[in-house]
Amino acid sequence: MNADPRRLAQALGHRFTREELLIQALTHRSVGSSNNERLEFLGDALIGFVIAEALWERFPKADEGTLSRMRASLVKRESLARLARDLKLGDSLRLGAGELRTGGHARDSILADALEAVLGAVYLDAGFERTRTVVLELFAARLEQTDAERAGKDPKTRLQEWLQSYKRPLPEYLVLSIDGDQHDQTFIVSCQLQDADVTTRGTGTSRRRAEQAAAESMLERIQHG
C-alpha cells in the first residue's frame, strides 16, 4: 500500500501542479479531519455532469428516463470502484489503522469515493475542460459499450439473455466471503459458467450488488475478451 501517488496520476493521464490536492484526495476520513470528503462531493457532481452531457450527445433520440438509467449505470458505486481498481488506486490510499486492518483499500465504497475525490482534485488543479477530458478518457470504453436499448436491464438479466440466446446454461453464483461490520459489509461473489471454465468475481455492499458486479464482469469477459 501507499504507492507513489504520482503513479496514479500518470495512469490517470494528468500531471498535478498542486500535488497536495492529490494527496488529500487519497486520504480517507479515518486518517483525520484533513480528508477527501469535500473533494468527493465536488468530483461526484463533475462526473455526473460530464457523463450526462456525453450521453445526451451520443443518444439524441433517448428520452430522459433512458438517459438517467444509462448515467446511473455508468456512475454507480460498483462501476466507479472497477475503474479505481483498473487504475490501482487502492495502492495509493491513505487509511487509518482500522480501515487498513479490515481491507479498506479494496472496499467498493472507499475506492469509488476516492476516485470521485481525485477527479475533484483534477478540477481544482487544472479546471473544467481538463477534468472533462480526463473523465471522458476514463469512461471511454464503457461509454462505447453503452446501449440505450439495454439501459433498463441489470447485468444479471443481460447475462442471462445473452446465454439463453446461444442456448447455454445459466450461470451459478456463489458467495465467497462476507467482510466488515454488520452496518458496512462487503460481499464477494463468484459467477461461473456451467459449460466453460470461466469464473469472475464481484464485490458489493450486498449479495445482490456483488452478483450484479460479477455478472457485469462476466459480460465484459465473454463479449469483449
Which residues are tagged catalytic? Answer: 44, 116
40 annotated as ligand-binding: yes
Name every residue whose Cβ is closer than 8 Å to that of residue 192 and which is 6 or more positions away in sequence. Answer: 171, 172, 174, 198, 199
Q: Is 179 labelled a binding residue?
A: no
Grid cell, residue 21, equals: 490536492
Grid coordinates representing 212 are: 450484479
- Cα–Cα–Cα angle for 18, 24, 25, nearest 5°? 95
Cell numbers 481544482 correspond to: 124
154's CB contacts (< 8 A; 6+ apart) are: 212, 215
SS (H, E, C) 96-150: CHHHHHCCHHHCHHHHHHHHHHHHHHHHHHHCHHHHHHHHHHHHHHHHHHCCHHH
Residue 137 is assigned to a ligand binding site: no
Task: Note the Cα 208 to chain centre separation in Å.
Answer: 16
- Binding residue ranges for Mg(2+): 40, 113, 116
- Binding residue ranges: 40, 113, 116
